[in-house]
Structure 1
Amino acid sequence: MTTILVTGGTGTLGRPVTERLRADGHDVRVLSRHSEPYAADLRKGGPALDAALAGVETVVHCAGSPNGGDEKAAGLLIPAARRAGVGHLVYISIVGVDRVPLPYYRAKLAVERRIEESGLGCTVLRATQFHDLMATFLSKLTAPPLALLPAGLADQPVEVAEVADRLSELALASPAGHVPDLGAPEIRSVPSLARAYLDATGGHRRLLEVPLFGRTYGAFRAGGHLAPEQAVGKGTFEEYLARRFG
């Protein structure tokens, strides 16, 4: 039995990762700001973080926020993991962090580099965006009365359960550095995803594509966030929508 700490273990990805590892019989600690007995703020560190890491062999780092703070959190987690003698740090990142100049992506890339240079055994998995995030994105874009969509964009939303399965598998293996990306089985235009979302939710909107500008938009249009050669996932967006809204 391995003792594993999952940061962000109450979140969209951290929760199923925790469930899978516990189902396999491992001692899994959940770290979040409000999850006792291992409540700790990764952006503050301190004795609570050290206590959560005591005796831990593997850390699965799922915690993250598009609102900032990821680099600071990594800067505290890594030395604390070294002090605790952690042998394996597994990190979930995003496909395209090295190609799309979005601030959140840049922060994720910086965390990748910190981990790689930490001296800890590490594994880094990049995945495409989750179905949940795409549904949230589309709920805002298709709000009445008109659905305004960024022109010329495609996406490859992946099933979070499949990412959790892969991350759990990696956590139980030896450190492997950067492993192949995990992408969904389909690359879809944003209008086709929007139509699927509206069909599932009973919405009726006229879809209008609007061109945007800037380096970040250009990188997304060029497919910098896609993984066509790693379309290894199986769950489709329609299957996710049927479970959520059916």
Structure 2
Amino acid sequence: MTTILVTGGTGTLGRWVTARLRADGHEVRVLSRHTRPYAVDLRAGGSGLDAALAGVETVVHCASSPRGGDEQAADHLLAAARRAGVGHLVYISIVGTDRVPLGYYRTKLAVERRIEASGLGWTVLRTTQFHDLLVSVLGGLAKSPVLLVPAGVPDQPVEVTEVADRLAGLALAAPAGRVADMGGPEVRSLDSLARAYLRATGRRRTVAQVPLFGRTYRACREGGLLTPERAVGKTTFEEYLTQRFGG
């Protein structure tokens, strides 16, 4: 039986990774800011991190925040993992970190590079956006009478439970470096995804495409968020919507 630490183990992805690994009979420690006995703020580090990593063979690093602090958190985690003799660190990243000049994406890429240079055995998986995130964004946009989306931007959402299955499998294998990206089964325009969301939730909104400007918008229009050659996900956006909202 392998002892595995999942950072962000109560989050959207981490809780599913934890469940998959425990179902396979492994000892899983959940690290998050508020979950005992391993309640640790990775951005601050501290002795609690060393205690959480004692005897751990593999770390699955799911903790992340678009509000900042990921690089400091990675530095603390990597230093503690080296002290503890961790053999394998698995990191979840995002398709497009090296193509889309968003601040959060640049941070994810910086963390990738820290892991690669850490001296630990490592595996990095990049995936496209989760269905859950897309629904959260569309839900916010749908508060207005007109649902505005960036014109001409494609997306390729993927089911988080399928990503969890992939991460759990990687955690139980040998360090593999940067593995093949994982994308959802369909490349879709944002306006078509917005209309599917409105149908599933029974909301009546006009969907309007708005042209934007700048390097980030251009990178997204050019497919920076996509990995069409790795459309290995099974669950479509409509299937996810049916599971979540019924219909």
TM-score bin (small chain):
over 0.9
What do residues 209-238 of structure 1 show as CA deviations (whole Å, max 9, x unaligned)?
111111111111111110000000000111
In the TM superposition, residue 143 of structure 1 has moved relative to its aligned partner by: 2.1
| Secondary structure in structure 2 of the residue aligned to 1:6 | strand
Query: Gaps spanning 5+ residues in structure 1: where?
Result: none
In the TM superposition, residue 137 of structure 1 has moved relative to its aligned partner by: 1.0
Query: Gaps spanning 5+ residues in structure 2: where?
Result: none
**For the residues of structure 2 that align with 1:156 and 1:64, how far apart are their CA atoms?**
21
Match of 1:81 in 2: 81
Calculate the TM-score normalised by the size of structure 2. 0.99
Provide the identity percentage. 74
**For the residues of structure 1 that align with 2:132 and 2:54, how far apart are their CA atoms?**
33
In structure 1, give the amino acid aligned to 2:106: R
Match of 1:244 in 2: 244
In the TM superposition, residue 79 of structure 1 has moved relative to its aligned partner by: 0.7
**For the residues of structure 2 that align with 1:207 and 1:162, how far apart are their CA atoms?**
30
Calculate the TM-score normalised by the size of structure 1. 0.99
Match of 2:186 in 1: 186
**For the residues of structure 2 that align with 1:239 and 1:211, how far apart are their CA atoms?**
29
Quick check: 1:196 aligned with 2:203?
Answer: no
RMSD in angstroms over aligned alpha carbons?
0.6
**For the residues of structure 2 that align with 1:148 and 1:33, how far apart are their CA atoms?**
35
Match of 2:224 in 1: 224
**For the residues of structure 2 that align with 1:31 and 1:207, how far apart are their CA atoms?**
40
**For the residues of structure 1 that align with 2:28 and 2:207, how far apart are their CA atoms?**
45
In the TM superposition, residue 145 of structure 1 has moved relative to its aligned partner by: 1.1
**For the residues of structure 2 that align with 1:205 and 1:33, how far apart are their CA atoms?**
38
In structure 1, give the amino acid aligned to 2:142: T
The total of aligned residue pairs comes to: 246
In structure 1, give the amino acid aligned to 2:5: L
| Secondary structure in structure 1 of the residue aligned to 2:91 | strand
**For the residues of structure 1 that align with 2:149 and 2:194, how far apart are their CA atoms?**
9
What do residues 91-123 of structure 1 show as CA deviations (whole Å, max 9, x unaligned)?
000000000000000000000000000000000
Match of 2:207 in 1: 207
In structure 1, give the amino acid aligned to 2:140: K
